[in-house]
Structure 1
Amino acid sequence: MSFVSDIPAAPSQEAVTHFARRLALETDCADVDASMKAREVDFVLLHVVGTPQAYALRHVPGALHLRHGEISAERIAAWPADTLFVVYCAGPHCNGADRAALKLAALGRPVKLMIGGVTGWEDEGLAFATGPEPGAFVPA
């Protein structure tokens, strides 16, 4: 028996529940990129870590810079209550996106974490925007 099969797989319905729950809380770089390319951006993408200078060096195109420590009811009041927020940070070594997601959820806002963050975006070979503004997404 291998280490893989030593612990039996969960029953199918348990796996369905588990993976559906994960997908309700997370998205990935490829899904965000595909949505942008299809011009189906029905979410607000937030770059939630770093200084304005670091954001200006590189960020995901279309992402707004709102650090997790600055998220408040007042800061997000401009968006309708049902707006889906997608948050990302530097990468798997960073918990800024988790902190942002927790704050948004506590404020009653729908939120998903873009797994991988900047590192994942780079690993996928996707282009970054530069400058102090969100930057335009240019489909390949």
Structure 2
Amino acid sequence: MSAVSSVPAADSATALAHFSASLSFETDCADVHAALATDDPRSLDFVLLDVRSPAHFARGHVPGTVNLMHGKIVASKLAAYPPDTLFVTYCAGPHCNGATRAAIRLAQLGRPVKIMIGGITGWLDEGFEVAVVDEESPRRDPLALD
């Protein structure tokens, strides 16, 4: 018996409940990209938060993103947004828990929140372009700090 099958899979009803619920907590880069590609910015129904450091953000981020490090998420920084605003957080990628930390802080503040799975790594893997703060910054690797 392989390590894969040594623990039996959940029954179909349990699997359906689990995987359906996961979409309440996360979205992916392709769905975010499609939403951002709309011709009418007023139809955008979420705020995308890049919770990495300002240096990483400057080197490359999802266009239209707000940069707010997870440790800086407090009620006063969110006051301009209506209470029902959906926030979608992302960080470096699957090896980083910054998006989760940000989601926890937002949930503690009573804000609706999802995580963009994959982070900026997933965004780049999908082949989507990044924006840079300083046009002199290289676009080759927005995660590198030199």
Same structural fold, with TM-score higher than 0.5 when normalized by the shorter chain: yes
- Report Cα offsets for 1:58-90 as digits up to 9, x if no partner: 100110111111100111011111100000001
Give the 4+ runs in structure 1 shifted more than 6 A. Answer: none
1:85 corresponds in structure 2 to: 87
How many residue pairs were aligned? 131
Query: Which of 118, 121, 126 is equivalent to 1:119?
Result: 121
Structure 2 gaps of 5+ residues are 135-146
Alignment of 1:1-140 (within 5 A): 1-39=1-39, 40-51=43-54, 53-131=55-133
- What is the distance in 2 between the residues matched to 1:25 and 1:91? 16
Which whole-Å CA distance do the structure 2 matches of 1:8 and 1:23 have between them?
A: 23
Displacement, 1:5?
Answer: 3.7
SS of the equivalent of 2:104 reads helix
Q: How big is the shift at 1:8?
A: 2.9
Give the Cα–Cα distance (whole angstroms) in 2 for the partners of residues 16 and 47 of structure 1.
31
What is the alpha-carbon distance in structure 2 between the residues aligned to residue 97 and residue 87 of structure 1?
A: 5
Aligned-partner Cα distance in 2 for 1:55–1:44 = 16
What TM-score results when the alignment is normalised by the length of structure 2?
Answer: 0.83
Change (3 A) 1:63 1:3: same
**Counterpart-to-counterpart distance in 2, 1:89 and 1:11:** 33
Structure 1, unmatched stretches of 5+, are 133-140
C-alpha distance in 2, partners of 1:115/1:68? 16
